[in-house]
């Protein structure tokens, strides 16, 4: 794991950052002076502020309500006892940043000042983090010292846009869960929640004028990645989806505003629009012969550029803007193939009328026309960086996701930019290569990599850097069907991004951040957040020792922490054994290793072991696995370790494209066997299918084999690891050959239909 170390002795500029470890605040304040003593909250503490100011009251309420619930302390402007301590909260125009604040804590007085209620709210969040984490509890907590250290903090964010995007189009999430997410983002001083409301897999925004969008477009049949709006083709499937009424969305907007968060709505266009076109197919393109494509067998991905489409989108955006007061309206503009535009008579006529030479210019026309309408309502559009193609709309803000190049280009053209490159900001990516990680998309984005990000590209000149408005973390939910997994993918990476967005880069230090994050995780525990436990990168490797015993080795943690482990599948505690040397796996076991601090798990890995007669024996493979899917080596199928149940990219799964698994085991001597249990991965959405048939053969000389059992494999109903078991009358032989035949051509109606299926093989457990 890469770490960043700064010398507090040599660099005075970094001294403040290193000294601030004792102030457990996230994101790290930009100026902190610690003093001696503490301010103690009690029943005599008085709170003075202008309660007639509604926004100011919203800003102060978290402190009032949480102290009342957890400590039983009622902060008010009056007290029956003589004044013991005082909290003064005032608006002060001398503070220049709208979100900045100044906090002074003395033994008998807290002074919090800010230019706006927003700044006060962020100052209140800092006070709450200075208090014991028990302040987040919903019931009275006894034996807690309700005090904060004496400090002087002057703070303001580096960027004005600090956001998280949640894709609710692929998987609908309840308003109650979104409110929980808003609360969590507010705690870390983020100020935007970008809701991806529409995509090809679902339309979540209620339109009063176009009711079919939610009658049809909000529900689909099939798996998340193999969805259809052709309901007749899959009558056995149940409808899947949901949508938000306008009243529900208005309530969410109000709830977020009370926590000083703006909800930014996104309505996809011109592509990712199958849900809308399934509802209103008359908005689709025509084929090269001027005929409509067969509906509903073929639903297009992009709107046609006919006038009716723009009338429809103007109406939808008008309704959206009536619900969402956000300055920004996100119109997407990404991943448009534009293929149907090349032949549709309406699109070709549009290009002719507007003097456009390419479909890229037609996309630019599309976005500019939408922007003109949105601007007429006093709002501005955001689009993904593909809106740069063909020429950027005049007032558009670019959200740069394909890399940093789009952001650089937009800033150089003096357009506002929100940086969200996939390498640093896509939270649907894996966050660890540890065994047992849930399935995710594509690549690796660890917590320290998120923290290392600087949203301002070095390529920009000083006068261009001001156009970088901030950074946003994106969670696309193709593989994320429920709230627990949403939380797992977002946290704590969103906490790291909050500090990226808020804190001056010269003050950042990952080791110091993890110390503060350790305390912050206790607050997430209070809110029952299912966060990922990968602050470090515990490395778990397996091998055979000289005695042919399976061993597990652990590493990847710095010297300041120890790894504790169990072998019975229970979560390690402070009483569990400390890892010091390779662990001998003498029987079937589930190894869980963890780094702990005060009972909080900071990192954790899990691996299952299943010992059997083939473990450690010599093997041969007739055809070697694909190099990309052979991380554990050719003998991974007899090493006693089971692969991940949810994804096939770990060290234990071996993969072949359109080729059979054909492996021979040399037991070394005549060995009695009677069963084989193995697993194949099944994920049709990724062209991965279980085997068609499994055959087991034995031999005494390694040349002449006879079949003892063969079995056709049933295609499972669910994706993931699928177990296949074969049994036979006991037979004694020195060699065993196992053959697993691939499915062959992928059946019609599935992703990759007509192409060759992949075969993935896990441990071959022989008894």
**Does residue 79 register a pLDDT over 70?**
no
Q: Are strands 441-444 and 429-430 parallel, antiparallel or unpaired?
A: parallel
- Residues 504 and 395: their CA atoms lie apart, in Å, by 28
Mean pLDDT of 316-323: 98
**Does residue 7 register a pLDDT over 70?**
no
The residue among 298 and 183 whose pLDDT is bigger is 183
* Contact present, 97 and 157 (Cβ < 8 Å): yes
Within 13 A of 48's CA, how many CA atoms are on the CB side? 11
Interior CA angle at 278 toward 274 and 280, to 5°?
A: 115
The secondary structure of 719-759 as a DSSP string is SEEEEEEEEEEEEEEEEEEEEEE---BPPTTSTTTTSBPEE
Mean pLDDT of 288-303: 88
Q: From the candidates 282, 307, 322, 335, which is the catalytic residue?
A: 335
**Does residue 371 register a pLDDT over 60?**
yes
* Contact present, 362 and 350 (Cβ < 8 Å): yes
pLDDT in tens, 130-139: 999 999 999 9
Q: From the candidates 171, 194, 196, 272, which is the catalytic residue?
A: 272
- Residues 29 and 12: their CA atoms lie apart, in Å, by 17
Mean pLDDT of 175-194: 98
Q: Tokens 């093997």 correspond to what residue? A: 619
Query: Is the peptide bond preceding residue 628 cis, with omega within 30 degrees of 0?
Result: no
Longest Cα separation, the chain:
98
**pLDDT grade, residue 3 (50/70/90)?**
very low
Q: Mention the CATH class of domain 618-766.
A: mainly beta
pLDDT score, position 77:
66
Percentages helix, strand, coil for the chain, rounded to the nearest 5? 25, 30, 45
**Does residue 499 register a pLDDT over 80?**
yes
Q: Is 65 known to be catalytic?
A: no
**pLDDT grade, residue 20 (50/70/90)?**
very low
- Residues 82 and 44: their CA atoms lie apart, in Å, by 7
pLDDT score, position 226:
55
Mean model confidence pLDDT for the chain: 92
* Contact present, 73 and 45 (Cβ < 8 Å): yes
- Residues 88 and 334: their CA atoms lie apart, in Å, by 49
Q: What is the DSSP code (8-state) at residue 115?
A: S
pLDDT in tens, 34-57: 999 999 999 899 999 999 999 999
- Residues 67 and 48: their CA atoms lie apart, in Å, by 16
Mean pLDDT of 596-620: 92
CATH 3.40.250.10 for the 165-396 domain, yes or no: no
Mean pLDDT of 218-224: 76
**pLDDT grade, residue 9 (50/70/90)?**
very low
pLDDT score, position 19:
38
pLDDT score, position 229:
80
Q: Is 199 known to be catalytic?
A: yes
**pLDDT grade, residue 751 (50/70/90)?**
confident
**Does residue 664 register a pLDDT over 90?**
yes
**Does residue 97 register a pLDDT over 50?**
yes
Per-residue burial over 521-536, b = 16 or more CB atoms within 10 Å of its CB, e = otherwise: bbbbeeeebbbbbbbb
- Residues 395 and 418: their CA atoms lie apart, in Å, by 14
- Residues 676 and 728: their CA atoms lie apart, in Å, by 9
Task: Look at the alpha carbons of 317, 321, 323, 327 in this order and tell me if their dihedral is positive or negative.
Answer: positive
**Does residue 233 register a pLDDT over 80?**
no
Q: How many CB atoms lie within 10 A of CB 744?
A: 11
Comparing 109-123, 223-237, 744-758, the range with the smallest average pLDDT is 223-237
**pLDDT grade, residue 8 (50/70/90)?**
very low
Q: Is 506 known to be catalytic?
A: no
Going by C-beta distance under 8 Å and a sequence separation of 6 or more, which residues neighbour residue 731?
A: 672, 673, 674, 698, 708
Task: Look at the alpha carbons of 627, 629, 633, 635 in this order and tell me if their dihedral is positive or negative.
Answer: negative
Query: What is the residue extent of each domain of the chain?
Result: 17-155, 165-396, 539-609, 618-766
pLDDT score, position 617:
93
Taking the CA atoms of residue 458, residue 460, residue 465 and residue 468 in that order, the dihedral angle to the nearest 10 degrees is -80
Q: From the candidates 99, 173, 199, 478, which is the catalytic residue?
A: 199
Per-residue burial over 184-199, b = 16 or more CB atoms within 10 Å of its CB, e = otherwise: bbbbbbbbbbbbbbbb
pLDDT score, position 21:
38
pLDDT in tens, 403-457: 999 999 999 999 999 999 999 999 999 999 887 788 888 889 999 999 999 999 9
Q: Both tokens of residue 603?
A: 């990192």
pLDDT score, position 556:
86
Burial class (CB in 10 A: 0-12, 13-18, 19+), 564: buried
pLDDT score, position 314:
98
pLDDT score, position 227:
63
- Residues 592 and 565: their CA atoms lie apart, in Å, by 6
Whose CA is closest to 762, among 700, 679, 697? 679
Helices and strands, counts by H and E, the chain: 16, 35
Q: What percentage of the chain has pLDDT greater than the value 70?
A: 95
**Does residue 477 register a pLDDT over 70?**
yes
**Does residue 167 register a pLDDT over 90?**
yes
The residue among 752 and 112 whose pLDDT is bigger is 112
pLDDT score, position 15:
35
**Does residue 239 register a pLDDT over 50?**
yes
Mean pLDDT of 8-37: 66
* Contact present, 465 and 414 (Cβ < 8 Å): no
pLDDT score, position 514:
92
Mean pLDDT of 74-82: 75
Q: Mention the CATH class of domain 17-155.
A: alpha beta
Comparing 526-530, 536-540, 581-585, the range with the smallest average pLDDT is 536-540
* Contact present, 158 and 501 (Cβ < 8 Å): yes
Mean pLDDT of 604-623: 94
**pLDDT grade, residue 547 (50/70/90)?**
confident
**pLDDT grade, residue 224 (50/70/90)?**
low
Mean pLDDT of 92-112: 97
* Contact present, 601 and 595 (Cβ < 8 Å): yes
The residue among 291 and 664 whose pLDDT is bigger is 664
- Residues 2 and 386: their CA atoms lie apart, in Å, by 32
pLDDT score, position 622:
96
């Amino acid at each position: 794991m890469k770490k960043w170390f700064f010398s507090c002795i040599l660099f005075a500029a970094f001294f403040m950052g290193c000294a601030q470890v004792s102030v457990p605040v996230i994101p790290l304040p930009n100026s902190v002076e610690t003093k001696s003593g503490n301010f103690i909250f009690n029943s005599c503490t008085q709170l003075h502020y202008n309660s007639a100011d509604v926004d100011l009251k919203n800003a102060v309420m978290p402190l009032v309500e949480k102290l009342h619930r957890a400590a039983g302390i009622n902060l008010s402007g009056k007290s029956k006892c003589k004044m013991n301590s005082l909290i003064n909260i005032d608006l002060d125009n001398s503070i220049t940043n709208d979100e900045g604040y100044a906090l002074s804590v003395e033994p008998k007085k807290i002074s919090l000042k800010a230019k706006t209620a927003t700044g006060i709210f962020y100052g209140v969040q800092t006070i709450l983090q200075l208090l014991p984490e028990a302040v987040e509890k919903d019931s009275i907590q006894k034996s807690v010292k309700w005090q904060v250290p004496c400090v002087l903090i002057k703070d303001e964010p580096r960027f004005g846009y600090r956001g998280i995007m949640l894709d609710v189009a692929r998987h609908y999430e309840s308003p109650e869960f979104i409110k929980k997410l808003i609360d969590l983002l507010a705690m870390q001083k983020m100020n935007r929640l970008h809701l991806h409301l529409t995509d090809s897999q679902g339309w979540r925004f209620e339109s009063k004028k176009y009711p079919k969008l939610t009658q049809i477009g909000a529900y689909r049949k099939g798996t998340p990645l193999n969805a259809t709006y052709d309901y007749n083709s899959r009558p056995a499937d149940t409808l899947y989806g949901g949508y938000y009424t306008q009243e529900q969305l208005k309530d969410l907007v109000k709830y977020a505003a009370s926590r000083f968060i703006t909800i930014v709505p996104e309505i996809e266009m011109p592509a990712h629009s199958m849900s809308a076109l399934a509802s209103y197919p008359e908005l689709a393109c025509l084929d090269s012969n001027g005929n409509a494509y067969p509906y509903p067998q073929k639903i297009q991905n992009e709107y046609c550029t006919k006038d009716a489409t723009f009338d429809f989108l103007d109406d939808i955006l008008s309704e959206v803007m009536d619900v969402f007061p956000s300055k920004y309206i996100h119109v997407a503009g990404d991943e448009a193939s534009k293929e149907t535009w090349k032949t549709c008579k309406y699109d070709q006529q549009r290009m002719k009328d507007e003097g456009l030479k390419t479909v890229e210019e037609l996309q630019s026309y599309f976005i500019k026309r939408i922007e003109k309408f949105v601007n007429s309502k006093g709002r501005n559009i955001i689009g993904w960086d593909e809106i740069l193609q063909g020429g950027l709309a005049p007032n558009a803000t670019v959200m740069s996701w394909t890399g940093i190049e789009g952001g650089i280009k937009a800033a150089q053209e003096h357009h506002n930019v929100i940086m969200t490159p996939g390498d640093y900001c896509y939270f649907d990516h894996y966050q660890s290569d540890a065994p047992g990680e849930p399935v995710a998309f594509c690549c690796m984005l660890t917590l320290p990599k998120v923290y290392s990000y600087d949203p301002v590209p070095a390529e920009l000149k000083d006068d261009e850097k001001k156009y970088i408005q901030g950074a946003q973390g994106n969670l696309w939910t193709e593989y994320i069907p429920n709230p627990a997994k949403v939380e797992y993918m977002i946290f704590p990476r969103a906490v790291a991004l909050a500090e990226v967005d808020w804190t001056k880069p010269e003050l950042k230090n990952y080791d110091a951040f993890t110390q503060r994050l350790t305390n912050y995780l206790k607050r997430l525990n209070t809110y029952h957040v299912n966060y990922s436990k990968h602050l470090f990168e515990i490395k778990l490797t397996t091998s055979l020792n000289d005695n042919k015993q399976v061993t597990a080795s652990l590493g990847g943690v710095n010297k300041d922490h120890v790894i504790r482990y169990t072998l019975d599948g229970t979560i390690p505690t402070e009483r569990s054994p400390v890892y010091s040397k390779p662990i001998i796996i003498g029987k079937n076991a589930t190894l869980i290793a963890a780094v702990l601090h005060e009972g909080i798990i900071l990192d954790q890995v899990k691996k299952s072991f299943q010992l059997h007669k083939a473990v450690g024996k010599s093997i041969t493979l007739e055809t070697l696995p694909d190099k990309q899917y052979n991380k554990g080596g050719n003998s991974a199928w007899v090493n006693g370790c089971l692969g991940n149940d949810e994804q096939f990219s770990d060290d234990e799964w071996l993969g072949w494209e359109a080729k059979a698994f054909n492996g021979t085991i040399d037991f070394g001597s005549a060995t009695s066997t009677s069963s084989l249990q193995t697993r194949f991965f099944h994920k049709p959405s990724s062209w991965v299918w279980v085997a068609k048939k499994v055959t087991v053969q034995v031999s005494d000389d390694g040349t002449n084999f006879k079949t003892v059992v063969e079995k056709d494999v049933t295609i499972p109903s669910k994706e993931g690891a699928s177990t296949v078991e074969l049994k036979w009358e006991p037979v004694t032989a020195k060699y065993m050959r196992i053959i697993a035949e691939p499915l062959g051509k992928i059946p019609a109606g599935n992703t990759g239909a007509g192409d060759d299926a992949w075969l993935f093989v896990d441990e071959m457990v022989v008894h």
